Amino acid sequence: MQDQALLRYSRQIMLPEVDIDGQERLLAARALIIGGGGLGSPVALYLAAAGVGQVTIADADEVELSNLQRQIAHREDDIGRNKAESAVAAAAALNPHCELSALPVELQGDALLEAVTNADLVLDCTDRFSSRYAINAACRKAGKPLVSGAAIRFSGQLAVFDSRDAQSPCYACLYPPDGSGDEALSCAESGVIAPLVGLIGSFQALEAIKLLSGAGKVHQGLSTFDGLSGQWRHFRVMRDPACLVCGVA
């Protein structure tokens, strides 16, 4: 590691849980962020700032004026620009030494599986059940850890699913698909308070950095946050033997 990198990441390196070895693991890591909006914005900025070596951001949407209330990677000049490309530009301005790439498409099928397979870790920053189920299935098939976040109105949640752990559940264990279609609430329909996505996205980035560097203990179960009361709750989530994605029954 060169002197400039030692200086840039010095506040992380001085942490015994990270140290030089952990920072070097971050510099060699590959992260895939799916969704460059409210959650993906802080995730992209913090992973780039922390020195994750390769960060890929996938999003097919374009920046709109109503996004700027909460999607901090984008600026007014970015309106009409693809969100993945805009977020990559913002992250590159923060840390030009991070290798950043944009996928300005909605990842599906083989393309999704290929992108997941090429990453060390995946962060789901989407807002639809159909996307979350597809990302979860791809991560299970490729054996990649998944950091999942969600935020709506004043409520947020985070869970980590790591298929490398035989006891770890998957997203479908937590929310079994019932065949009723994609009924996830969206911010456009229900609203969201601006800092909430920053809080949950930052939590996702923290868990990703822990996983990639080897620091600390990986988050277990489901954490939910009520922004109106300021209270966190934690729930244990067990692997479902009858799960259609990861079950053994």
Average confidence (pLDDT) over 112-135 = 96
Q: How far is it, in rounded angstroms, from Cα 225 to Cα 234?
A: 9
Quote the radius of gyration of the chain (alpha carbons, Å).
17
How many other CB atoms sit within 10 Å of the CB of residue 105?
14
Please report the pLDDT score of residue 179 as a whole number: 55
Q: Are 35 and 150 in contact (CB under 8 A)?
A: no
Helix H or strand E segment including 102: strand 99-103
Assigned CATH for 3-235: 3.40.50.720
- Comparing CA positions, the residue from 7, 6, 15 lying closest to residue 213 is 15
Q: At what angle do helices 40-50 and 194-213 cross, to 10 degrees?
A: 40
The rounded distance, in Å, linking the Cα atoms of 249 and 241 is 6
Tokens describing residue 235: 């729930």
With a cut of 90, say whether residue 34 has pLDDT above it.
Answer: yes
**pLDDT for residue 69 is more than 80:** yes
Q: What pLDDT does 2 receive?
A: 86
pLDDT in tens, 1-31: 888 999 999 999 999 999 999 999 999 999 9
Task: For residues 210 and 204, give the distance between their C-alpha atoms in angstroms, rounded to a whole number.
Answer: 10
Indicate the average pLDDT of the chain.
94
Distance in angstroms (rounded) separating the CA atoms of residues 41 and 207 = 16
- At 1, list the tokens: 């590691």
Of 126, 159, 112, 137, whose CA–CA distance to 35 is shortest?
126
Position 248 scores a pLDDT of 64
- Write out pLDDT tens, residues 172-230: 999 998 755 445 566 667 789 999 999 999 999 999 999 999 999 999 999 999 999 99
To which H or E segment does residue 51 belong? none
Number of other residues whose CB lies within 10 A of the CB of residue 22: 21
Q: Structural domain boundaries of the chain?
A: 3-235
pLDDT of residue 188: 65
